[in-house]
Amino acid sequence: MIYIDERKKAFFLEGENFTYAIDVSDGYLRHAYWGKKIERDDIDQLLFDHPAGYVVAIEASASGRGSLETLPQEISFFGLGDYRTSCFKATGEDGGKVFDLKYDSFELLTEKPSYSDLPMLKGGETLVVRLLDAAKRLELKLYYTVYEECGCLTRHAEITPLGGTVFLERALGFCVDLPDCGYDCITLYGKHSCEAQIDRQALGHGEFSVSSCMGISSHVHNPFMALAEKHATENAGDVYGFGLVYSGNFFLSAQTGEFGTIRVCGGINPLDFRYRLREKESFVTPEVLMTYSECGLGGMSRNFHRAIERYILKRGVPPIVANSWEATFFDFDTKKLFGFIDGLKGLNIDTFVLDDGWFGRRDSDRTSLGDWKVNTKKLIGGLEPVINKCKENGLKFGIWIEPEMISEESELYTLHPDWAVKSKFLKPRTSRNQLVLDLTRKEVLDYLKSTFYALLKNHDISYVKWDMNRPLTEFYSAGLEKENQGEFAHRYVKAVYELADYLTRSFPDIYFEGCAGGGGRFDIAMLKYFSSVWASDSCDAEERCRIQYGYSYLYPLKTVSSHVGASPAHQTSRSIPLESRCNVSAFGAFGYELRLDVLPQEEREFIADYNLFAKQLRSVLAEGELFRTENPFESKFTGFIVMNRQKTKGYGLFYQSKTSYGDGIKMIRLRGLDPKKKYSVPKFGVCAYGSTLMNMGIQHKTTNTDYQSVLYEINEAEND
Ligand code: GLA
């Protein structure tokens, strides 16, 4: 709900469990409160007047009443005496940089506006607060939408010059100045094959930030940040979470201010960002999804999951896939594929996905990106015989593409060397032997639209894995004027959105999976187009426990693609029992990445049964709530429980990495049950009340072998 007190110029955004309040102080928009729900009428008694400071503070207004340096704000502008991180900086035609943005008016929209080239959560009632430069040269609109039942809100901003051209040099679309309660800052960091690792550190003095300047959201930092009270745990304590709905160069920061505040702000990375805006031309910032939870990190994640699932995620039940990549890499032909596909019969797999290597002359990663024609030397008769082979075996067919890329060794590069992103003077930098196509150019985007439209139209394809295997460099387009080069990275991402929007809309029944060398572009924005994202190039279940646990802070597990790999694992040479590899993968968008056709018969039988079970689990994962029970970053155990929303059925995973002699017994305390209802957990031969299972827990006798796991079903039982 949005309540507006026009007399007091106060705005209250309320969810079921939170209040977010804004008011106007000396003409500026003040961040008044965000946290557990409070009484609206009390608020103005409690707001502190911002002191002018002593010697150095710049007075905010002619009345000399306060300083912007000490005012908790909703947005901040460079050059006005607030020396904390500025959200916006713009330079006018005269080179002047100061715009004094003050409250002007508000508007309540019944629907949140949507933008075709910038993904955002769908939303209803939206508050728009208009700020206007004192000299009327610039307007800034702040948009707020509440997701009451999710404990979330979204924000974005729209900036419009009113008196001539401006160059926008910073565009961080949101800011909140929270009272400093001694928070820890939590982020997700990583690298290729080791994504979404959790970092938690006390916020000290100064600014702590995570960012990307790689043109993609990146493996290195996910566009996510949380502030947690010192003592906040998985299940209790105040946590504020922020997830940017953006896939490009981003910036998120938390900064301790002079007067007991912490500023959290974020948006487009200002590095190399400079956007020319002509008079009346608007610029819309990426949105942020924000949540407050008093139920610890688990509460934060469930809020995020609900909002993402309901308001942005491209729907689609993840099929159980058998992907060819780690099964064959580039080394396949029709005969080998036929053997592989025949070998899937009877395993209860839904879809065979043909990964890299099917087009051009692509027998290695050196060549052919851009030449999206089937390699008929490898695949005699093209894709059709492979598709028919799938159908014969009761399978659907999926295909790997990497639309944004071009190999120097390709027909496309011979025809259009200028289509690659490069500088005028230097040899372009390759990564994985490939260059990036300049998607900011219309002719390139048109080529990609028509090429992939034709591929998907002309074949019976039900699944697409959209890869993107290198970060951007050069950040230059021959198609942009000199004055627009600072727009390149943002325009590139918007072009990716346009292409993804076009293809996913044209083929609504195709399941799209995203990928960027694993999780190099796993962010909320991508989930508008892709139902899941290949989370990591590491299929080692031990590594995957941490990777998937980390992603689950922000992303619903059903969006985390997770396949059973070979043992020993390609990436780490670690051997893990098949059951544990399956159990870890089943808590995600499930599938296989190994030669299933040549496995021993007893493993094939196990897999056939397991897939039937995984389909039941999948239906609970699709709409249920996630509870994390054991943290692999803090112990050798990983635990998840997913319960349906009626709290009648669920599944739990308990995984143990290395054992030590005498580990013996581990109590598994369940979560998410109704304390007053009885549940049976057949795997442990237990039937007890929710309260008992959640507090006393279940005794699990661990074995003396490494990498053991148990996946157990939880069912509501008849009450006595
Ligand atoms: C990336 C992906 C892999 C696979 C290869 C193919 O590394 O993450 O899953 O598709 O590309 O080249």
Q: What would the pLDDT profile of 323-343 be if each residue is shown by its tens digit? A: 999 999 999 999 999 999 999
Q: How far is the CA of 536 from the centre of ligand 1 (A)?
A: 9
User: Could you read off the pLDDT of 366-408 as tens digits, one per residue?
Assistant: 999 999 999 999 999 999 999 999 999 999 999 999 999 999 9
- Using the predicted structure, report yes or no on whether residue 96 has a pLDDT greater than 80: yes
Quote the mean pLDDT of the chain: 96
Report pLDDT digits (tens) over 274-319.
999 999 999 999 999 999 999 999 999 999 999 999 999 998 899 9
Alpha carbon distances (Å) from 538 to 195, 326, 564: 9, 10, 10
Residue 320 has pLDDT above 90, yes or no: yes
Quote the crossing angle between the two packed helices 442-458 and 488-506, to the nearest 10°: 20
Instruction: Yes or no: say if 361 and 368 are a contact pair by the CB < 8 Å rule.
Output: yes
Q: What is the DSSP string of 548-583?
A: HHHHTTTS-GGGEEEEE--SS-TTT-----HHHHHH
- Is 623 strand, coil or helix? helix
Q: Please name the residue whose Cα sits nearest to atom 11 of ligand 1.
A: 517
| Among candidate residues 587, 681, 660, the one with its CA nearest the CA of residue 630 | 587
Q: Considering all CA atoms of the chain, what is the largest pairwise distance in Å, rounded to the nearest integer?
A: 84
Written as six digits, the tokens of 263 are: 């500023």
* CA 555 – CA 550 distance, rounded (Å): 9
The residue whose CA is least distant from atom 7 of ligand 1 is 517
The backbone region for 409, taken as left when phi is positive above 0, alpha when psi lies in -120 to 50, beta otherwise, is: beta
Given ligand 1 and candidates 329, 355, 431, which is best to mutate, with the most ligand atoms within 8 Å of its CB? Answer: 355
Choose which residue among 365, 464, 469 to substitute to test ligand 1 binding: the one with the highest number of ligand atoms within 8 A of its C-beta: 469
SS3 for 355? coil
The CA-atom distances, in angstroms, between 493 and each of 119, 448, 526 are 11, 15, 10
Give CA–CA dist 259/179, Å, rounded: 9
Structure tokens at 453: 């439209």
For residue 497, give every residue at least 6 positions away whose Cβ sits within 8 Å of its Cβ, in sequence order, or none: 117, 118, 119, 247, 525, 528, 529
Residue 54 pLDDT > 60, yes or no? Answer: no
Closest C-alpha residue for ligand 1 atom 12: 356
Which atom of ligand 1 has the smallest separation from the CA of 537? 8
Contact 556, 308 (CB under 8 A): yes
Q: Pick the residue whose CA is nearest to atom 6 on ligand 1.
A: 356
Pocket test for ligand 1, best of 216, 354, 356 (most atoms within 8 A of CB): 356
Residues 405-426 have pLDDT tens digits of 999 999 999 999 999 999 999 9
Nearest alpha carbon, ligand 1 atom 2: 517
Q: Using only C-alpha atoms, what is the Rg of the chain?
A: 27
User: Residue 273 in 3-state DSSP?
Assistant: coil
Q: Which are the contacts of 272, defined by CB distance < 8 A and separation ≥ 6?
A: 213, 249, 475, 486, 488, 489
| C-alpha of residue 257 to centroid of ligand 1, in Å | 44
d(CA 537, ligand 1 centre) in Å: 7
Among 467, 523, 540, 597, the active-site one is: 467
**Three-state DSSP state, 686:** strand
Q: Identify the DSSP state of 201.
A: E
Q: Which residues have a Cβ under 8 Å from the Cβ of 472 and sit 6 or more positions away?
A: 214, 215, 216, 421, 436, 489, 492
Q: State how beta strands 625-630 and 511-514 pair.
A: unpaired
* Count of Cβ atoms closer than 10 Å to residue 26 Cβ: 20
Among 48-57, 350-359, 565-574, 634-643, where is mean pLDDT lowest?
48-57
Q: Residue 460 catalytic? A: no
Alpha helix segments (H runs only) across 471-594: 488-506, 541-551, 578-586
Q: Is the pTM of this model over 0.95?
A: yes
Q: How far is the CA of 652 from the centre of ligand 1 (A)?
A: 30
- For ligand 1, atom 1, name the residue with the nearest CA: 517
Closest approach atom of ligand 1 to CA 518: 8
| pLDDT at residue 51, as a whole number | 62
- φ, ψ of residue 34 to 5 degrees: the values are -150, 125
Q: What is the mean pLDDT of residues 22-44?
A: 92
What does each C-alpha distance from 591 to 109, 346, 588, 715 come to in angstroms? 43, 15, 9, 25
Q: Which amino acid is at 305?
A: H
- Return the percentage of the chain with pLDDT > 90, whole number: 91
Terminal-to-terminal C-alpha distance of the chain: 42
Q: In this prediction, what percent of the chain has a pLDDT beyond 70? A: 98
- Nearest to 298, CA basis, from 33, 694, 613: 694
Minimal-distance CA residue to ligand 1 atom 8: 517
Tens-place pLDDT, residues 263-275: 999 999 999 999 9
Give Cβ neighbours of residue 352 (< 8 Å, ≥ 6 apart).
321, 322, 324, 340, 341, 344, 390, 395, 396, 397, 398
Measured in Å, residue 333 CA sits from the centre of ligand 1 at: 18
Residue-level pLDDT at 56: 62
Tell which atom from ligand 1 comes closest to the C-alpha of 365.
12
Question: Residue 593 CA: which ligand 1 atom is closest?
Answer: 9
On the question of pLDDT at 589 being above 60, the answer is yes
pLDDT at 704: 82
The CA 632 to ligand 1 mean position distance, Å, reads 26
Ligand 1 atom with least separation from CA of 516: 8
Closest-CA residue to 709 (of 699, 718, 700): 700
Atom of ligand 1 nearest to the CA of 515: 8
Q: Encode pLDDT of 110-164 as tens digits.
A: 999 999 899 999 999 999 999 999 999 999 999 999 999 999 999 999 999 999 9
Distance 274 CA to ligand 1 centre (A): 33
How much distance in Å is there from the Cα of 522 to the middle of ligand 1?
A: 14
For residue 65, what pLDDT is reported? 64
CA distance 109 to 124: 8
Mutate to test the pocket of ligand 1, among 537, 544, 547, 593 (most ligand atoms within 8 A of CB): 537
How many angstroms is it from 601 CA to the middle of ligand 1? 29
Over range 444-471, report the average pLDDT: 98
Name the strand (E) or helix (H) holding 322: strand 321-323
Is residue 350 part of the annotated active site? The answer reads: no
Nearest atom within ligand 1 for CA of residue 400? 10
Sheet with 708-716, side-by-side order of all strands:
625-630, 637-643, 649-656, 708-716, 678-681, 686-689
| pLDDT at site 662 | 76
CA of 363 to the centre of ligand 1 (A): 14
Q: Give the ligand 1 atom nearest the CA of 355.
A: 10
Higher pLDDT, 258 or 509: 509
Q: What is the dihedral of CA 355, 356, 358, 359, to 10 degrees?
A: 140
Summarised one tens digit per residue, pLDDT across range 495-544 is: 999 999 999 999 999 999 999 999 999 999 999 999 999 999 999 999 99
Q: Which of 350, 438, 537, 597 is catalytic?
A: 537
Say which residue the tokens 């910038």 belong to.
118
Q: For residue 378, report the distance from its CA to the centre of ligand 1, in Å.
A: 19
Residue 457 neighbours by CB under 8 Å, 6+ apart: none
Measured CA to CA in angstroms, residue 15 lies from 34, 145, 433, 500, 626 at distances of 11, 10, 50, 32, 21
User: What's the confidence (pLDDT) of residue 663?
Assistant: 79
Q: How far is the CA of 305 from the centre of ligand 1 (A)?
A: 27
In sequence order, what are the residues at sequence separation of 6 or more whose Cβ sits closer than 8 angstroms to the Cβ of residue 131? 29, 75, 101, 102, 103, 104, 139, 140, 141, 142
Tell me the CA distances in angstroms from 167 to 102, 297, 325, 491, one per residue in order. 20, 39, 46, 15
C-alpha to C-alpha distance for 378 and 353, rounded to whole angstroms: 16
- Tokens 């961080």 found at: 172
**Which of 55-64, 76-85, 184-193 is the most confident on average?**
184-193
CA of 349 to the centre of ligand 1 (A): 21
Report which ligand 1 atom has the smallest distance to the Cα of 465. 10
Ligand 1 pocket mutation, candidates 192, 332, 467, criterion most atoms within 8 A of CB: 467
Pocket around ligand 1: residues whose beta carbon is below 6 Å from it? 325, 355-356, 400, 467, 469, 515, 517-518, 534, 537
- Render the burial of 481-505: b for 16+ CB within 10 Å, e for the rest: eeeeebbbbbbbbbbbbbbbebbbe
pLDDT at 660: 81
Which three-class secondary structure state does DSSP give residue 318?
A: coil
pLDDT band at 720 (very low <50, low <70, confident <90, very high): low
Q: What is the mean pLDDT of residues 219-248?
A: 98
Q: Is the peptide bond before 223 cis (omega within 30 degrees of 0)?
A: no
Residue pair 252/243 in contact by the 8 Å Cβ criterion? no
